[in-house]
Amino acid sequence: MKNKPAYAVGSVDNVLLLLHMLRDQGRLKVSDVARELRIARSTAHRLLAMLVYRDFAVQDEHHTYLPGPFFASMPATTGGSVLRELRARTRPAMEALCARAGETVNLMIRVGAEVRFLDSVESSQILHVGDRRGTILPARQSSGGKVLLAALPRDRLWELYPDLAGPERAALARELDEVRARGYALNIEGTERGVSAIGATLHDGRGAALAALSISAPSARFGAGRVGVFAEELRRAVAEAEQALADFPG
């Protein structure tokens, strides 16, 4: 189980989350930061001002904060405005799923052979999986990564894993075939001890795999009896989110 360290410094954690927001959303206002980080507007303004001072952000004439020169050296994947729109459209379905399942819900995209967590809705239970925003995991080990890999043509899949051969390659192919057949993937402590997850693919209006939703829970609450319940709730959330993504920009 990945828990926040006992010595965590709140202001440092807020700055790190703010850097993730800049990278993934592209444009921020003081009110956006205050609302998402649950801090005062004055505190949000001071944090943003420091990022501007250190070249992590710049401010335009509309008092909007944009990624600064520091981010210019980072490889671009999906545009910030597109990611911001993806998060906004899927958030209601994620919040509803979290309320129904009682566990943390995540949104992620695949970047090469890895997945990046774009958003999280944390469970209100005392023992729960925390906010994963900004986390990067191997796609073939995470539940959301597996469903996104299963959506790839086989030749594209092997381009991502050119060194995979023999029994290991055959095992991955079999696992992804099973994922494709049942419509969801499981991660039973494959990326973190004490944490298990179930993930499913989100498609756009043309049927292309766009992202993945997952439910993450302490393994103690992820018994065989709950997998079916989680899978059904996840299917419902995917249907809700895909309705909101029907005209999503491709």
User: Mind listing the pLDDT tens digit for each residue in 190-211?
Assistant: 999 999 999 999 998 888 899 9
Class of domain 10-72: mainly alpha
Inter-residue contact 24 to 84 (CB < 8 Å): yes
Q: Which CATH number fits domain 80-244: 3.40.50.1100, 3.40.50.1220, 1.20.120.520, 3.30.450.40?
A: 3.30.450.40
Q: Please provide the average confidence, as pLDDT, over all residues in the chain.
A: 86
pTM of the model: 0.72
Considering only 25-34, 136-145, 164-173, 228-237, which range has the smallest mean pLDDT? 25-34
Q: Which helix (H) or strand (E) holds 44?
A: helix 41-53
Torsion angle in degrees (nearest 10) through CA of 159, 112, 246, 83: -160
Dist. CA 52–CA 68, nearest whole Å = 7
DSSP 76: P
User: Mind listing the pLDDT tens digit for each residue in 49-100?
Assistant: 888 887 788 787 778 887 776 665 444 445 566 778 888 899 999 999 999 9
Every domain of the chain and the residues it spans: 10-72, 80-244
The mean pLDDT value for 214-219 works out to 96
Q: What pLDDT, on a 0 to 100 scale, did the predictor assign at position 71?
A: 61
Of 225, 222, 247, the closest CA to residue 104 belongs to 222
Beta bridge partners of 201: 212
User: Mind listing the pLDDT tens digit for each residue in 128-149?
Assistant: 998 888 788 899 999 999 999 9
Q: Which two tokens stand for residue 119?
A: 């958003």
DSSP codes of every residue in 184-230:
-EEEESSSSTTEEEEEEEEE-TTS-EEEEEEEEEEGGG--HHHHHHH
